[in-house]
């Protein structure tokens, strides 16, 4: 099995198009055409993890955080990033990162976070903007079903929990082909009028080339009329963070002890207790201070995230309990999820969970 075959499965789990613009996801080191011996899944692809991959005969390391995040001009081994990359290259080990591609997935980092706490009725906290497009096309009634079904098969027409969604209207068309035309209906040089169906479907913008390929392959016209629009609608099933509910509410202090136990955190920093019960909880794995207002707007009783600065605790505004449980801790079960996903998709192949603890933060 080649590394590119593993990558195809990883992109089922976390489409790279879901990643944030600032991020660096995908194949960071290595050649996708290399035969894969086995896969090591980790949180951070540090030098000690590359050593582990060498010892376990893994030539593909799948990491959550990208070891290459910002541009580098030299690789001399002077810091932890360069040392890990050098060692990977010297030992023909490829590195693939998922990061915010999995953060933004509805079954990704924050759903894993919610599941670890037992939260139900979950939904995205910060839905992704500028990610939906609409295709409008026109064809004769006899061709409409074929075109529509091909568009659905290519990924169009999915809205929330529904698929095969479209809007269709009937109308009339006119055309007159020139001497170089080859019309399927009518004759060139003559004005033709007929009945036509207008088909409208929405799709995730990264699917545009696939959608257009399906349209052109299944449309009968020589010149296919179509329009594509960018929609301002938020994508309710893609985005950062998540909000959910406990079956039974609990006291604030009991809640934090519960979180500390479930997420195996050695310390939690939190805002002032408000004397209110905790039932609705917002979570955002990793650095989530930007979403404090979203958590408040969602009506959350508490917001769990990490990397909060001193003044950001004031932003709770006595409206919710704000808690920093640790960056690694908020994402700690992600690598387990990746391993489980790969093992279900790729049978009889070595998918290994890294034993290295790459959390750089320690507590007294």
Q: Please check if 249 is assigned to a binding site.
A: no
Residues 295 and 242: their CA atoms lie apart, in Å, by: 9
Q: Is 103 annotated as a binding residue?
A: yes
Which residues have C-beta within 8 Å of that of residue 111, sequence separation ≥ 6?
105, 122, 242
CA dihedral 316, 317, 318, 323 (to 10 degrees): 10
65 is in an annotated binding site: yes
Instruction: Flag whether 331 is marked binding.
Output: yes
User: Annotated binding site: which residue ranges?
Assistant: 65, 103, 327, 331
User: Annotated binding site for a divalent metal cation: which residue ranges?
Assistant: 65, 103, 327, 331
């Amino acid at each position: 099995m080649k590394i590119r075959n593993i990558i195809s499965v990883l992109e089922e789990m976390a489409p790279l198009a879901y990643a944030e613009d600032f991020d660096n996801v995908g194949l960071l080191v290595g050649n996708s055409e290399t035969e894969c011996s086995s896969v090591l899944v980790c949180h951070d692809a540090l030098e000690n993890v590359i050593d582990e991959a060498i010892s376990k005969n893994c030539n593909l390391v799948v990491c959550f955080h990208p070891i290459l995040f910002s541009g580098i001009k030299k690789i001399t081994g002077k810091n932890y990033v360069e040392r890990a990359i050098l060692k990977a290259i010297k030992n023909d080990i490829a590195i693939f990162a998922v990061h915010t591609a999995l953060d933004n997935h509805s079954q990704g980092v924050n759903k894993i976070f919610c599941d670890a706490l037992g939260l139900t009725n979950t939904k995205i906290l910060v839905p992704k903007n500028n990610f939906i497009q609409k295709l409008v096309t026109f064809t004769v009634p006899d061709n409409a079903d074929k075109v529509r079904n091909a568009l659905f098969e290519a990924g169009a027409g999915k809205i929330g929990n529904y698929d095969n969604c479209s809007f269709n209207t009937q109308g009339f068309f006119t055309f007159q082909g020139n001497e170089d035309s080859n019309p399927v209906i009518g004759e060139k040089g003559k004005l033709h009028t007929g009945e036509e169906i207008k088909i409208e479907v929405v799709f995730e913008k990264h699917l545009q080339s696939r959608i257009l390929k399906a349209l052109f392959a299944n449309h009968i016209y020589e010149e296919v009329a179509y329009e594509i629009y960018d929609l301002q609608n938020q994508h309710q099933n893609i985005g950062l963070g998540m909000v959910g509910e406990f079956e039974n509410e609990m006291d604030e202090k009991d809640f934090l002890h519960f979180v500390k136990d479930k997420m195996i955190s050695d310390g939690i920093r939190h805002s002032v207790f408000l004397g209110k019960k905790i039932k609705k909880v917002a979570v955002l794995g990793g650095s989530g201070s930007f979403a404090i207002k979203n958590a408040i707007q969602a009506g959350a009783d508490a917001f769990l995230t990490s990397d909060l600065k001193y003044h950001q605790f004031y932003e709770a505004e006595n409206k919710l309990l704000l808690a920093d449980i640790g960056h690694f801790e908020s994402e700690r079960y992600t690598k387990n999820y990746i391993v489980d996903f790969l093992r279900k998709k790729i049978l009889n192949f070595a998918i290994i969970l890294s034993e290295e603890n790459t959390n750089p933060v320690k507590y007294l």
